[in-house]
Structure 1
Amino acid sequence: MAFRLKLVPDHTTFDFFKHAWLTFGASVVATIASIVVALVLGLNFGIDFKGGTTIRTESTQALDVGLYRGAIAPLNLGDVSITQVFDPNFGPDQHVSMIRIQAQDGAEAITPDTIAAVEAALQGVDPAVKFISTESVGPKVSGELIWTAVWSVLAATLAIVVYVWLRFEWQYSIGALAALVHDVTLTVGLFALFQIRFDLTIIAALLTILGYSINDTVVVFDRLRENLIKYKTMPLKDVMNVSVNETLSRTVMTSGTTLIALISLLVLGGDVIRGFVFAMTWGVIVGTYSSVYVAKNIVLFIGLDRNKKPEDPSAKFFTEGAQNADN
């Protein structure tokens, strides 16, 4: 008999509304607190959003990022990011790195003297290092990147809400929107609270969190729609409890296996991707929580028309399109 791992029994009867005032209230308080923290403390923007200078190096010796970082640290240049560049066209003795240094005192770029000091420090630990190019990101470009990042998150959120509206009903889309705002706000608030570097990789993490969160939410909503047809006289709150319990095993297994991979990357992945992985880890946790305790609570508060047979508007759209094509 094959061994089957079960983190959750096949049949559970948890009452997810038993402490709704506490769980949903905590989410509201945490969301408001995150907004306040982000406004008061601000975000610790990385070079992408603050501007700075990028130095590209090449060496015949194997690149040691920790050694490079240790050599530059005494110069007190603030936010410094060092990453190794991989390219299949590089030779076996061609080791390339990108060193990004934040703008100093609001200047467009770091001064030639500072660049010379960085080069001297790196040559001290790697005599074979060569400096291929130096580029600067000015305040105007970094400011445009901030707005581009904001609009990308808003556009993704809007697209998801429209999809849920077409796939289900407008009440579901409001619940999905509340869950997405909850997840993104709490993630941004956490980064503001601990002043973790916030750059373009974190924007990528936020967009991924949106997709992961809505995936869990749609699974619950889809089962809810099926159960509304199956249990016509059962109170809406009880139907929601049944739906979440029926999808609980899938939710726990999906989130659990994802967290195993993320925690491994968080511990072993190194400094370069730690911010991204941390955002993703936190996002999976709050995304799973919001799917169970936020989205459905909003739908329950708004209410559903039980007299109207739940249907899939997108399926109706495609069916009518096929009929029109036949005619």
Structure 2
Amino acid sequence: MSEESKKHIDFMGVRRIAAAVSIILVLGAVISLGVKGLALGLDFTGGSLVELEYAEAPELPDVRSKLESAGYDNAMVQNFGSDKAVLIRLPAAFDDSVGTEVVSALSRNAELTLERSEYVGGQVGEELREQGGIALLLAFFVVLIYVAMRFQLKFGLASVVPLVHDVLIVLGIFSVFQLTFDLTVLAALLAVIGYSLNDTIIVSDRIRENFRRILKGEPEEIINISLNQVLLRTIVTSGTTLVVLISLLVFGGEMIRNFALALFIGVLVGTYSSIYVAANMLVTLNVNRDDLYVPQKEGAEGSQPEEEDPPDWLKRMD
């Protein structure tokens, strides 16, 4: 057995299992989004956010009780970075003067300072929600056009489907666990689209190159060769990115935790989808050498690539 055959991984041999896993995850995400929806943050729903710094760590149930007594119902109270910092989220019924009112309600028998108070109107939140959805749809459309022009329409479809797959799974996880979805998470989703697209473009470029160079073997075999050739690069890129995201999750603080979490999930799913979902789509769409054939100009010399021998493991399959 040659060294090349030892290193070969039969990605396409389990493509049906990978497809089943992807379908289950996407259906689960869609069902959760339909039933539970997203826990939209104040950026999208409107409302007030108040951050307080206590001299001594307060008991959160006591803070909630005082807020209810002062007429602030349905307040979300949580620690923010430390047990002395408290973040209070209030629904849209309140206005931008709520910060000082909350301090007055909570300052009895407690020493605290107002760190910040932000108000987002309901109309602004609705506009942000609509613009965020349009941004995602526009990103998918632009990717489809770009990849179709650079490669071929089948590659364009095979690039957009993984992006939709990745975004839906990230949204599904946020829906299942009711994690707060705000503008930072939306920015993370757009970053996930860019990251996943970059991986998919590299895989597609290698597949196209090998279809033109290796003139023997079935499409699945050529795709397998291509995936093995880019595997090390994918592992190194994803690994270094995940190390940074883990650092952000651990040390970044509450403000960017959901942003880092969305990116972390997106990188993991995007790496998987660039190998299995994109390649699976190409096989499903019956991509072949005719799709990638470059017509030879009349009188041109050397424009047709020379045939390259397939690797040893592929020869033994003939």
Identify the match of residue 157 of structure 1 among 140, 148, 170: 140
Does 2:89 align with 1:101?
yes
Match of 2:301 in 1: none
Match of 1:317 in 2: none
Shift of 1:274: 1.0
Identify the match of residue 175 of structure 1 among 158, 183, 187: 158
Shift of 1:109: 3.3
Shift of 1:12: 2.4
Residue 164 of structure 2 aligns with an amino acid whose one-letter code is V
Match of 1:267 in 2: 250
Q: Aligned to 2:287, what secondary structure does the other structure show?
A: coil
Identify the match of residue 38 of structure 2 among 40, 43, 52: 43
The whole-number CA distance in structure 2 between the counterparts of 1:23 and 1:208 is 24
Sequence identity percentage = 33
Match of 2:312 in 1: none
Does 2:222 align with 1:234?
no
Match of 1:78 in 2: 75
Alignment of 1:131-280 (within 5 A): 136-280=119-263
Residue 230 of structure 1 aligns with an amino acid whose one-letter code is R
Residue deviations 1:205-253 (CA, integer Å, cap 9, x gap): 0000000001111111011111011112221100000000000000011
The whole-number CA distance in structure 2 between the counterparts of 1:18 and 1:197 is 39
Indicate conservation of the 8 Å contact 2:39/2:175, yes or no.
yes
TM-score (norm 2): 0.78
Rate the CA distance shift 1:33–1:143 in 2: closer, same or farther, 3 A.
same
Match of 2:27 in 1: 32
Gaps of 5+ in 2: 69-73, 295-318
The whole-number CA distance in structure 2 between the counterparts of 1:237 and 1:185 is 27
Rate the CA distance shift 1:69–1:223 in 2: closer, same or farther, 3 A.
farther
Residue 109 of structure 1 aligns with an amino acid whose one-letter code is D
Indicate conservation of the 8 Å contact 1:78/1:102, yes or no.
yes
Residue deviations 1:47-99 (CA, integer Å, cap 9, x gap): 11111124588xxxxx6799589585553653458889xxxxxxxxxxxx996
Indicate conservation of the 8 Å contact 1:49/1:146, yes or no.
yes
RMSD: 3.2
The whole-number CA distance in structure 2 between the counterparts of 1:223 and 1:296 is 11
Match of 1:6 in 2: none
Gaps of 5+ in 1: 1-8, 58-62, 85-96, 312-327
Aligned length: 282
Identify the match of residue 281 of structure 2 among 298, 303, 321: 298
